[in-house]
Homo-oligomer: A and B are copies of this chain.
């Protein structure tokens, strides 16, 4: 099977094998060593000098942790949404009683840092900005460093969904001045789903001390205090930690720059190949096209869902579909984590063949 959805991503065999290790005491000295090594690995990838927290949950749970640990009901926040996951981040804030102001682009577009700057200038009561680094639903990467610069200059908090970017494309949290940054294990980390990672800056911890949104399971302070004893407050997804411990060995051998370069090269190949097939990318400005997932419009009159089904059933190639209003209109090729050009080449060979057949029938 050639799994080309943007997560869960395929895992190296040795990582899967490491995840099959027998259970141990999650509060014992052996697991403490694993948690230390894994946290060191997270700090390295995030570019953090303080310990990144991990929670047993999905990326969405990590986004909820970001919000409930830094905000209070009634707090005014600016939601920057460029797609389905940006909308989800906003929905979480609303569910917990935040007073949300919206900046939404057309899907396929990136957010404009100047617009965010203006909205913050116009409304000094905005306390925090919610922004997606890499929008998985449209294959667009926001200019996060530039956005963060505007937010930082105005002294607001910036909460970042880096679920599908962190570990695949650069996102140095301290260098860019980010406040809360979330990722998920099933994306670029080459391990199964089950863990979300949450970085919090000093500013975020100061906000945490005042934050009134209710929380228990996702309580960051409890998680930080347990981590100081090299434990989790609750029983963690041990197998994913085992797997991640092994994945970091592979990542350190390749190096962060090597990983970023590989993702960039595979993404460039994907985009060039798609365009050579006469297809149109969803990102309207290719400068913002994602290096972890490529979203492509199905041509007019072609039954994309039927092609996806045939790709899976006849060729074992699993493509991502469109979400929300893009359902049936686009396909997405995930190229993050344990991915090489040959994986994408095989998938696009199949798409090309099936598209030609579909067009011949028209």
Question: Is residue A77 within 8 Å, beta carbon to beta carbon, of the partner chain?
Answer: no
Q: Are B214 and A58 in contact (CB under 8 A)?
A: no
Q: Are B9 and A193 in contact (CB under 8 A)?
A: no
Contacts of A95 on B, CB cut-off 8 Å? 214-216
Contacts of A28 on B, CB cut-off 8 Å? 312, 318
Question: Is residue A353 within 8 Å, beta carbon to beta carbon, of the partner chain?
Answer: no
Q: Are A19 and B19 in contact (CB under 8 A)?
A: yes
User: Can you list, as one digit per residue, whether each of A306-317 has a CB less than 8 Å from chain B (1) or not (0)?
Assistant: 000000100000
Candidates B91, B192, B215; contact of A23 at CB < 8 Å: B192
Question: Is residue A153 within 8 Å, beta carbon to beta carbon, of the partner chain?
Answer: no
Interface size on A, residues (CB 8 A): 52
Q: Are B20 and A237 in contact (CB under 8 A)?
A: no
Q: Which of A59-67, A175-183, A201-209, A287-295 contacts B (4 or more CB under 8 A)?
A: A59-67
Nearest chain B CB to A229 CB, angstrom units: 13
Q: Are A239 and B19 in contact (CB under 8 A)?
A: yes
Determine the distance from Cα of A21 to Cα of B243 in the docked complex, in whole angstroms.
12
Candidates B10, B56, B58; contact of A235 at CB < 8 Å: B58
Candidates B8, B17, B96; contact of A26 at CB < 8 Å: B8
Q: Are A3 and B17 in contact (CB under 8 A)?
A: no
Candidates B20, B92, B214, B233; contact of A97 at CB < 8 Å: B214
Question: Is residue A184 within 8 Å, beta carbon to beta carbon, of the partner chain?
Answer: yes
Question: Is residue A16 within 8 Å, beta carbon to beta carbon, of the partner chain?
Answer: yes
Within 8 A of B (CB), among A288-346: 312, 318
Q: Are A238 and B8 in contact (CB under 8 A)?
A: yes
Candidates B25, B60, B97, B216; contact of A64 at CB < 8 Å: B216
